C-alpha cells in the first residue's frame, strides 16, 4: 500500500490566493485589487518562505495573462506575456511579501491592519516610481517624480480599500476555516489502495 501525503493547508492557501488573483477579472474600480492582500496572506501562512513569493506571483501572472490578452487585448499588439509596468508591480509585490514576513509573525488584527496599510503605501510608491521612470509622461526630475506621485493620489484610496478588503477576506476566511476544520493545521496522510 502506497502512502500519499496531501498538504490540505497548502492547497487551501493556494486556492484562496488563486481565487483572489482571478477576482481581478471581475469589473472593479481602478486599483481596487487583491495585490497587497495576496502578498500578505502568502507571507503569513506559507511555512516555506519561497512559496510566499512564488505562488502569489504566479497566480497574479496568470491573472495578468488573462486580463491583458482577453479583457484588455485591444490595447496590445498581439499576445502579451508581460505588460510595461509589470516589473514594478511585481517588485512592489515582493516587497509586500517581505513586509508580511516581518509584520505578521503573529497574526493579530492590529498587525494585519498595519500591514495592509503599509502594503498600500509600498505599492503606491513603487508603482508610481515605475511610471515616472519607465514612461515619458513626467520629466525625469525630482519635480517630475513628485508630479507623478500627486497624479497617483486619486487612485491611492482604491488601493487602500482593495488591500484592506482583500486582506480581511483572505485572513478572515482562512482563520475561520482553521477553527472549523482542524485538519488545516497540518498535512494529512492518505493510504492509497
pLDDT value of residue 154? 93
Other Cβ atoms closer than 10 A to 131: 18
Domain residue spans in the chain?
Answer: 2-192
pLDDT given at position 189: 45
Distance CA 88, CA 94 (A): 10
Question: Domain 2-192 adopts which CATH fold?
Answer: Arp2/3 complex 21 kDa subunit ARPC3 (1.10.1760)
| pTM (2 d.p.) | 0.85
pLDDT of residue 144: 94
Distance of CA 138 to the CA centre of its chain: 27
**What cell does 143 get?**
519635480
**Distinct helix (H) and strand (E) counts, the chain:** 6, 2
**Predicted local confidence at residue 6, as pLDDT:** 54
Alpha carbon of residue 119 to chain centroid = 9
Half-sphere exposure (Cβ direction) of 193: Cα atoms closer than 13 Å = 0
pLDDT at residue 185 in the model:
75
Distance separating alpha carbons of residues 31 and 159, to the nearest angstrom? 5
pLDDT given for residue 81 in this prediction: 87
193 residues of the chain, pLDDT tens digit each? 444 455 888 888 999 999 999 898 888 888 898 989 999 999 999 888 899 999 988 998 998 888 888 877 787 788 888 877 788 989 999 999 999 999 998 889 999 999 999 999 999 999 999 999 988 899 999 999 999 999 999 999 999 999 999 999 999 999 998 888 877 776 544 444 4
What is the pLDDT, as a whole number, of residue 4? 45
What pLDDT is recorded for position 191? Answer: 47
Give pLDDT, residue 193: 47
Amino acid at each position: 500500500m502506497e502512502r500519499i501525503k496531501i498538504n490540505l493547508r497548502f492547497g487551501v492557501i493556494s486556492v484562496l490566493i488563486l481565487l483572489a488573483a482571478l477576482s481581478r477579472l471581475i469589473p472593479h474600480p481602478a486599483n481596487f485589487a487583491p495585490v497587497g492582500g495576496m502578498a500578505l496572506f502568502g507571507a503569513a501562512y506559507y511555512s516555506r518562505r519561497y512559496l510566499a513569493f512564488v505562488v502569489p506571483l504566479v497566480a497574479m501572472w496568470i491573472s495578468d495573462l488573462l486580463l491583458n490578452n482577453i479583457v484588455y487585448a485591444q490595447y496590445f499588439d498581439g499576445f502579451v506575456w508581460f505588460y510595461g509596468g509589470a516589473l514594478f508591480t511585481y517588485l512592489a509585490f515582493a516587497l509586500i511579501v517581505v513586509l508580511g514576513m516581518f509584520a505578521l509573525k503573529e497574526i493579530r488584527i492590529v498587525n494585519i491592519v498595519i500591514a495592509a496599510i503599509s502594503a498600500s503605501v509600498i505599492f503606491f510608491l513603487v508603482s508610481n516610481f515605475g511610471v515616472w521612470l519607465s514612461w515619458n509622461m513626467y520629466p525625469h526630475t525630482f519635480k517630475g517624480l513628485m508630479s507623478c506621485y500627486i497624479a497617483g493620489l486619486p487612485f491611492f484610496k482604491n488601493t487602500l480599500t482593495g488591500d484592506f478588503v482583500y486582506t480581511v477576506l483572505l485572513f478572515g476566511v482562512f482563520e475561520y476555516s482553521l477553527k472549523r476544520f482542524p485538519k488545516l493545521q497540518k498535512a494529512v496522510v492518505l493510504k492509497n489502495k
